[in-house]
Amino acid sequence: MTDNKELLAKVSDVTTETEYFSPIPHGYKKGKTKYVIVMGTVMSGLGKGIFSSCLAKLMKDKGIKVAPIKLEGYLNIDSGTLNPFRHGEVFVLDDGMECDMDLGTYERMLNQDLSRSNFSTSGQIYSDVLNKERHGDYLGRDVQMIPHITGEVKLKLRRLAMQSDSDVVFVEIGGTVGDLENAFYIEAMRELAYEEGPGSCCFVALTYILAPKTLGEQKSKAAQLGIRELMEKGIQPDIIACRADNEVSETVRQKISVFSNVPFEDVFSMHDSDSIYKIPEMLKDSAIDTEVIKKLGLEVKQNSSHEAKNWSLWQNLTNKIDKQTHEITIGITGKYTSVRDSYASIINALEHAEIALGCKVNIQWIEVTDINQDNVASQLSEVDGIIVPGGFGVRGTEGKIECIRYARENNMPYLGLCLGFQMAVVEFARNVCGISNANSSEIDANCKAVIDILPEQKKIEGLGGNMRLGGRNIEIKKGTNADKLFGGKESVRLRFRHRYEVDPAYIEQLEKEGLTFSGKAPDQPIMQILEISDHPFFMGTQAHPCLTSRPLRPDRFFLGLVAASRKCKYNDESLPSAIEAVKALFE
């Protein structure tokens, strides 16, 4: 891997003499890496990330090395300050980057860890250019959208190509063609294709086929206009993928083909599927992957035995999707319950556990604002297990604490994630240790703060990108349930995003009363996993294990919760306990 600093230093080798200002990293070989560029037309929310990650997966399975990048239009430097209610969950990468939830889709589909070089926003691009301007890098020139901003975009892609040493960089452009926010990205892609030369870029336009109920047929006009808009910007799509509820008819595909100069066989139907994990198969059947490979001349990179092995692993997974022997309901408490995107990773992690264990998981969203001691039992009467997910701020915390108390006292399986871990500590401190005004100082400044701000966080001002973020190791305590759940591993790595922690001053008292801290940071007294041992499943983690759950590597906390909830619901001796079930899967 090339050193980033070295690349940065050498990148100022740019031509300023001619009109071709295109910063190219030192040592970059044109044509070595190919680019697949995915853009959306007609409307947002087409599932560009899902489509592009599935296509990238098919290519990776063949032995072609891929590196995805999402280019976001907004001016925020990262997604850390975005409200998940408006924009979907904030995904956290191992290196601490707070990014768009689509990066989660890529990590899950590709079964590959990504880093900050796989994510960019307009804010990052502008701020890099402005910093260079102050540094004197463009001396003598007026700094402009073209070529400087577009140059910075190309630079980012080329750096990624070099750092990842990939055969293909998958570029997903956020938003829709025609948006002002992403117009410079589209121009940068046009320039990239021109500079890299024929056969180096494959443009895929994702579009939407309307099918108004009143007409009862698919209409292609909106798609045609969307593609025309792209062509007006100087980009000729190579492939068109048509999103639709149902399979797109041949006539509609023909119309789009004629209108857009794209051969009929390169206009694909990408209709809805009941599971995103079945989309790779749909794409493979349509042969869109081989078409992209052909256009980019990547045939030589394919390895058929590699592909056969990976494909059979994937089919083992998809074959299990509809074969469930049991069914449970997990209640998720949270204030963003109206938007499923705000909890995307949790939903995915539950789905991974569902597939692995053959146990259907229904989700019941629990609005906690009005939950109290009197109504908690009835509010939770239909769920077999509970998750209290991560969150910030005061609203709903008392309701969450009531749910946790109910789960603890009634042997109902419980999994607390980040804030849910902290609230489990507060509940235990209040109702078992008798510290009646125990709370988190995030919620109540005058409480007995069993959860308090991390010492390192006290000095920090402002809110962007400065929590305790990213992948950290967790040291597991021998002999605990966590030890058994993780098969005796001494250390596991999970991702974090928090400012508060268990105040170390209370650890001894909490542990004496029966709460076990079974995972902690190796070098600091930061508690990272908790459990109650004589409970069917009562665990919490300061981390967000949902972020690293993958279809081919389901997370063990989620597996444990689902297995325990199944056992509690069916009350069947022959069903394995949480730990037995997880052990059996990883043997």
Going by C-alpha positions, the residue among 474, 494, 390, 490 that lies closest to residue 113 is 494
Closest CB to ligand GLN among 209 and 419?
419
Bridge partner list, 75: none
Closest CB to ligand GLN among 92 and 279?
92
**What minimum distance in Å lies between the beta carbon of 211 and ligand GLN?**
40
**What minimum distance in Å lies between the beta carbon of 454 and ligand GLN?**
8
Closest CB to ligand GLN among 156 and 498?
498
Residues contacting 265, CB < 8 A, separation 6+: 291
Residue 66 token pair: 């891929």
Closest CB to ligand GLN among 61 and 442?
442
**What minimum distance in Å lies between the beta carbon of 497 and ligand GLN?**
5
Q: What is the DSSP string of 116-130?
A: GGGEEEHHHHHHHHH
- Closest residue to ligand GLN, based on beta-carbon distance: 390
Instruction: Report the distance separating Cα 240 and Cα 223, nearest Å.
Output: 10
Q: Indicate the burial class of 390 (C-beta count within 10 angstroms; 0-12, 13-18, 19 or more).
A: buried
**What minimum distance in Å lies between the beta carbon of 422 and ligand GLN?**
6
Closest CB to ligand GLN among 168 and 401?
401
- What is the spatial order of strands in the sheet that 438-440 belongs to? 438-440, 448-453, 500-502
Residue 157 token pair: 């892609």
**What minimum distance in Å lies between the beta carbon of 419 and ligand GLN?**
4
529-551 b/e with 16+ CB inside 10 Å = b?
bbbbeebbbbbbbbbbbbbbbbb
Closest CB to ligand GLN among 423 and 435?
423
**Residues that bind ligand GLN in the complex, under the rule CB under 6 A:** 390-392, 418-419, 442, 497-500
**What minimum distance in Å lies between the beta carbon of 390 and ligand GLN?**
3
Closest CB to ligand GLN among 243 and 335?
335
Instruction: Report the distance separating Cα 242 and Cα 553, nearest Å.
Output: 31
Instruction: Report the distance separating Cα 72 and Cα 377, nearest Å.
Output: 44
**What minimum distance in Å lies between the beta carbon of 33 and ligand GLN?**
36
> Beta strands 527-531 and 516-520: pairing type?
antiparallel
Closest CB to ligand GLN among 293 and 547?
547
**What minimum distance in Å lies between the beta carbon of 548 and ligand GLN?**
15
Q: What is the DSSP string of 428-491?
A: HHHHTS--TTEEETTT-TTSEEEEEE-HHHHT--SSSS-SEEEEEEEEEPTTSHHHHHTTT-SE
Amino acid identity for residue 471 in this structure: G
